[in-house]
């Protein structure tokens, strides 16, 4: 299973929403699709789901061009684009059955899809009266109901409370175990770090980066730690440790230490702190690799 | 084959929409009230059993033109535009189903709902006529047939406008304005200009009632010059029966082709 963009371009007047996108997502994995508002994330997903017509180039799914072979291209694709409206006169059960009928899919499991998103007990109530979060859950169930190989999810946790967000992340993690490809756009970097294997970053309609989260973490590993102690910390003493570049006092018992590159150094500093008699209760890398990468790639672009 | 099956599924769910949203019942109720009004006025102010059978029958045919317009607005106005307005398109369109299948599946549901309403009205007219005269004139059957042709074409025309706009209310209002005002103005201006308004659907729909004129079906003048004084002449045109049908079918064909093509390319931005 794969999705491929070949010189995919979408232009509105003189504005390029997407410009010559060339990327291939392949295999059972979760790909986080990141970028600021207006970067071209949703445009890409809409081009892959026949909601928009490309100005030029091709969106290909499993070898089929989405515009030319729509039925074959989208046969194994479940989608959640923006927050879809749901037919208010139908119940969740009827909505999902409608999709199964339209897709003429024999591997439908309405009950399981509704249970996965925690909406089974609401199956016979009309969706018109549901809250935004509930509707989003139904929309996710709609993407899952035909057990597709590929899932295209546009900010799937939008409009959900923290518990709902955690539940949906768990659903996505479970789907990964079932050997599916998930392309998920999100603004939430911790969400992408938690759920995805790879990340693609886009800004101003151009792909800036496509990398595995592991490689990205290696590249953008943080060279600073935040230390919390039970007793007061003397930052001057910490500056004496070899390899420490600077120490910023955050409070009497909390400091941020910038050091020279390397995990070995990170371990050495911790050992020295304990040897100095500092009662370390928390010692963690400051900031995430993905956040650093995002700020470097997207932030730099934005400042151009 | 699978396209036809998908089309039927779309028809089924769209029709369910009309039932659940109570639109079908509301229009049937309005129709029932109109039937009650026609019967009571005719019985109270006239004597249906004494009048000519064609006159009794035509009293029902007069309103069927308006009923077709109401039906097209009720069932067609937001059929496509609603997918954009309510964002249900995000749910429906990214599926392995061709756009024209969605379009025609919905159209068939609207047509089915319209036929039910129109049948309810026209069969009531039949029963009313039969009750007073013990017979139904063949003119009434022709008028029924033309009413259905008008429904088919006006519904397609309304669907065309529904694809133009992303707001159902706007689409509905535009078609209503077009039908009740613009076409009538065109018909009026054409009379003054002595140009036959063969391009107007309201002109064509005139055959629904014209069929009752004269001593046999089609026995009416195609045009009549009326002197309105001060040298002004007005030419009143009546479409031939086959001409009326041809105009309506022309509207259907052109609307169907353009509407399908637009929806095929229409984007969910």
Q: Report d(CA B38, CA B129) in Å as an integer.
A: 12
> What local confidence, expressed as pLDDT, does residue A303 receive?
36
CA of A249: how far to CAs of A117, A229, A230, in Å?
Answer: 45, 12, 15
What ipTM was predicted for this assembly?
0.84
Nearest CA in chain A to B88: A85
pLDDT at A302 over 60: no
DSSP state for residue B94 in the 8-state scheme:
S
Quick check: A83 contacting B, CB < 8 Å?
yes
Q: Report d(CA B87, CA B21) in Å as an integer.
A: 18
Interface of A with B in 133-152 (CB under 8 A): 139, 142, 152
* Contact across the interface for B20 and A89, Cβ inside 8 Å: yes
B55-65 mean pLDDT: 89
DSSP state for residue A30 in the 8-state scheme:
E
B90-98 mean pLDDT: 95
Per residue in A176-218, pLDDT (tens digit) is: 888 899 999 988 888 888 888 999 999 888 898 898 887 877 7
∠ at Cα B119 (B116, B124), nearest 5°?
Answer: 130
For CATH 3.30.70.1560, list the domain ranges present in chain A.
Answer: 223-286
Mean pLDDT of chain A: 87
* Contact across the interface for A87 and B89, Cβ inside 8 Å: no
The first and second tokens of residue B165, run together, are 């706009």
Domain boundaries A223-286, CATH class? alpha beta
DSSP state for residue A50 in the 8-state scheme:
T
Domain boundaries A2-218, CATH class? alpha beta
Per residue in A6-57, pLDDT (tens digit) is: 999 999 998 999 999 999 999 999 999 998 888 899 999 999 999 999 999 9
Task: Calculate how close chain B gets to A68, using CA atoms only, in Å.
Answer: 11
Task: Calculate how close chain A gets to B97, using CA atoms only, in Å.
Answer: 6
Sheet of A2-12: strand order equals A15-26, A2-12, A56-61, A64-65
Per residue in B154-213, pLDDT (tens digit) is: 999 999 999 998 888 888 888 889 888 898 898 888 888 888 899 999 999 999 999 988
∠ at Cα B118 (B113, B119), nearest 5°?
Answer: 95
Residue to test with chain B: of A13, A40, A53, A71, most B Cβ within 10 A: A71
Q: Which residues in chain A are contacts of B86 at CB distance < 8 A?
A: 85
Phi, psi (deg, nearest 5) at residue B268: -95, 90
Nearest CA in chain B to A151: B94
* Contact across the interface for B267 and A51, Cβ inside 8 Å: yes
A70-93 mean pLDDT: 92
For CATH 3.40.50.300, list the domain ranges present in chain A.
Answer: 2-218
């Amino acid at each position: 299973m794969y999705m491929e963009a070949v010189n995919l371009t979408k232009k509105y007047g003189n504005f390029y929403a997407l410009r010559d996108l060339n990327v291939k997502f392949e295999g059972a994995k979760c790909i986080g699709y990141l970028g600021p508002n207006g970067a071209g994330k949703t445009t890409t997903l809409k081009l892959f789901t026949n909601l928009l017509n490309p100005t030029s180039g091709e969106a290909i799914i499993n070898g089929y061009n989405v515009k030319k072979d729509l039925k074959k291209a989208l046969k194994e694709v479940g989608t959640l684009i923006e927050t879809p409206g749901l037919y208010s006169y139908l119940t969740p059960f009827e909505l999902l059955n409608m999709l199964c009928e339209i897709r003429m899919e024999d591997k439908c499991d309405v009950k399981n899809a509704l249970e996965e998103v925690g909406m089974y007990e609401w199956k016979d109530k009309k969706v018109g009266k549901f809250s935004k979060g509930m509707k989003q859950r139904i929309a996710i169930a709609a993407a899952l109901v035909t057990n597709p190989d590929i899932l295209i999810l546009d900010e799937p946790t939008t409009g959900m409370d923290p518990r709902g967000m955690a539940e949906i992340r768990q659903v996505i993690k479970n789907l990964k175990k079932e050997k599916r490809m998930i392309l998920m756009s999100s603004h939430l970097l911790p969400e992408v770090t938690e759920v995805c294997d790879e990340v693609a970053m886009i800004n101003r309609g151009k792909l800036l980066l496509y990398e595995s989260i592991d490689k990205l973490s290696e590249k953008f590993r943080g060279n600073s730690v935040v230390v919390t102690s039970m007793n007061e910390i003397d930052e001057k003493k910490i500056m004496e440790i070899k390899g420490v570049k600077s120490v910023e006092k955050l409070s009497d018992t909390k400091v941020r230490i910038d050091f020279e590159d390397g995990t070995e150094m990170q371990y050495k500093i911790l050992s020295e702190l304990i040897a100095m008699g500092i009662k370390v209760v928390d010692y963690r890398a400051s900031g995430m690799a993905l956040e650093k990468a995002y700020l470097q790639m997207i932030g730099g672009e934005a400042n151009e | 084959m699978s396209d036809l099956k998908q089309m039927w599924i779309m028809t089924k769910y769209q029709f369910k929409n009309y039932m659940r949203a109570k639109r079908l019942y509301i229009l049937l109720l309005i129709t029932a009230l109109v039937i009650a009004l026609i019967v009571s006025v005719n019985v109270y102010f006239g004597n249906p059993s004494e009048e000519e059978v064609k006159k009794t029958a035509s009293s029902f045919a007069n309103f069927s033109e308006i009923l077709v317009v109401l039906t097209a607005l009720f069932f067609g106005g937001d059929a496509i535009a609603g997918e954009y307005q309510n964002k249900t398109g995000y749910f429906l369109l990214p599926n392995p189903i061709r756009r024209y299948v969605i379009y025609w599946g919905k159209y068939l549901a609207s047509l089915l709902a319209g036929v039910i309403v129109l049948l309810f009205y026209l069969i009531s007219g039949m029963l009313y006529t039969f009750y007073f005269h013990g017979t139904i004139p063949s003119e009434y059957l022709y008028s029924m047939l033309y009413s259905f042709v008008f429904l088919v074409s006006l519904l397609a025309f309304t669907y065309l406008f529904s694809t133009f706009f992303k707001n159902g209310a706007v689409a509905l209002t535009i078609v209503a304005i077009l039908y009740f005002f613009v076409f009538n103005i065109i018909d009026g201006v054409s009379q003054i200009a002595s140009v036959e308004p063969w391009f107007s659907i309201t002109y064509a729909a005139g055959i629904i009632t014209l069929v009752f004129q004269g001593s046999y079906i089609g026995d009416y003048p195609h045009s009549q010059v009326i002197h309105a004084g001060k040298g002004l002449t007005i030419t009143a045109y009546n479409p031939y029966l086959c001409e009326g049908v041809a105009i309506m079918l022309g509207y259907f064909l052109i609307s169907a082709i353009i509407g399908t093509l637009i929806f095929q390319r229409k984007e969910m931005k």
